[in-house]
Structure 1
Amino acid sequence: MAKLKKKALNLLFILIVGGLGGILADQFLLPYLATVPPFSKIGFIHQAGNGTTIIHPTEKIIITENEALEKAISKINPCLVAVQSYQNKSLLSQGTGLIMTSDGLVVTAADLISDRATQYLVFQGGQSLTGQLVKKDLENNLALLRIEKTNLPVVSLTDLKDLRLGQRIIIIGLKYHQDKFLPFVNLGIIRSINQEVLEVNLSEENSLANGGPLINIKGEVVGLNLVDYKGLLKTIPANKIKEFINL
């Protein structure tokens, strides 16, 4: 027992002496050696003499919500189109659509595609293109048009299982202003989720958002906005759009 205690005391003594030695070396011995050639040429001794501590900086990138929203809107903008239905030269309806495939498939709200129309126009990248009706889904209020253009930008669709209550979302549409179509947005959150329709905490007074996308903060399409004449909004989830166009 006495031997064990003696060993413990010896170990404690060594630790104390070693610690004091380190402090003395750092505070006195190394600064002194830094003034004596050739020790002064040794890097860590020279730095100790100068009282220099090297800190390796780390860069922390913080993306604010506003920056993320701007990036999301910029990402979706090239995929937006304006849609108009005409009977002869009379405008029947207009709203927004979304490019779904690079070879010209465009999805929009079915109530924008009037059966009385003699022509559908799709405005993309400053061009006016004729839209051909491919099909309609009146139950979900979806319509699919085709335009004769290729190499088009396309959207990314989210999966319903990835959505969360309270998730930040953006309504986006196109409006006509001074001879061109400009995007407009509205911000909100997801209030309710089910397989048939998404509810958000927004109404949208601008009916031109009808047929436009609801996107998340990554610029991915959460669903398609349907806006009635009262400004009431509902959103068809992205999985319904996938089923409709067989993606």
Structure 2
Amino acid sequence: MKGILYLLAIFTLGVLGGIFADQILCPFMMEKSIFEPYGLDTRTVYVTKEEKITIQENTALKNAIEKTEKAVVGIKTVTKTGKISEGSGMVLTSDGMVITLAELVPAGSECCLFIEGKETSFQILKISVADNLALLKVKNNNLLGLSFADAGKTKIGEAVFMLGMISEKGVSFLAANGGMVRFIGENYIETNILEKSSLKGSPLLNVSGEVLGINTIAQDGKVSAIPIAKVKSFVGL
């Protein structure tokens, strides 16, 4: 009988000791820095302002790509000499107005235009070699046109991305590259993006999916854009 009472006493003390340790002792001791090396610190982990901004920008970029991808067109050109070049353009209006670079549709060349991977016939409505812009018209209707950014609100250091079409073995793929605005000139927007020439003619967009300009790519891969204000003036919008 005494043995049973002894065991019950030990059990009761054990239960009370466990409650004391769980509710009082452990929370108190976890506040002490001596336990930090052992991973016992369960305090709230705070996300910094910079981390929040990065998460928000990444989410916004993903949403912007999904919002604008159907307005990007691919262009493939074969010149008189047989040289093949590739680039992109973008849909301006739902009734089939498309803008691209003049260098992608040179006179006397054979050009193909692709919308959502399908080849589409087109005609050149207007072209300016000096401005390096060309306005095209496709027969497709109910297309997705892009919104234009307010040029006056574009800032140096603003996050931007380019979205264009590339092809491989006859199959077209969407491609994106991002960076920031490095300099804003009267006739161009300079970025810190480096890219292959196959994405020239693609739109430069902000993280809201608004068009800042049409991309040109130098021989060293540096990306600059013809400002959207100049594009609108050329088109007559």
TM-score, normalization: structure 2? 0.72
Alignment identity in percent?
33
1:192 aligns with 2:204: no
Match of 1:77 among 69, 78, 86: 69
1:222 aligns with 2:212: yes
Structure 1: distance between partners of 2:83 and 2:96: 23
- Deviation of 1:90 after TM superposition, in Å, equals 4.6
Instruction: Please show how residues 100-119 of structure 1 align to structure 2 within 5 Å.
Output: 100-117=92-109, 119=110
Contact kept? 1:120, 1:130, Cα under 8 Å: no
Instruction: Please show how residues 67-216 of structure 1 align to structure 2 within 5 Å.
Output: 67-87=59-79, 90=82, 92-117=84-109, 119-177=110-168, 179-204=170-195, 206-216=196-206
Paired AA for residue 222 in structure 1: L
- Deviation of 1:116 after TM superposition, in Å, equals 2.4
Larger radius of gyration: 1
Paired AA for residue 85 in structure 1: T
Shift in alpha-carbon separation, 1:115–1:193, aligned structure 2, 3 A: same
Contact kept? 1:120, 1:132, Cα under 8 Å: no
Contact kept? 1:215, 1:222, Cα under 8 Å: yes
Unmatched 5+ stretches in structure 1: 1-61
Match of 2:228 among 238, 241, 245: 238
Contact kept? 1:97, 1:108, Cα under 8 Å: yes
Deviations 1:96-136 (A, max 9, x none): 0101111111111111111121x321100232112211111
Shift in alpha-carbon separation, 1:70–1:154, aligned structure 2, 3 A: same
Shift in alpha-carbon separation, 1:164–1:91, aligned structure 2, 3 A: same
Task: State the secondary structure of the residue aligned to 1:236.
Answer: strand
Paired AA for residue 159 in structure 2: R
Task: State the secondary structure of the residue aligned to 1:149.
Answer: coil
Task: State the secondary structure of the residue aligned to 2:152.
Answer: helix
- Deviation of 1:209 after TM superposition, in Å, equals 1.0
TM-score, normalization: structure 1? 0.69
Deviations 1:16-73 (A, max 9, x none): xxxxxxxxxxxxxxxxxxxxxxxxxxxxxxxxxxxxxxxxxxxxxx962211110011
Contact kept? 1:120, 1:131, Cα under 8 Å: no
Q: Which moved more, 1:227-236 or 1:155-164?
A: 227-236
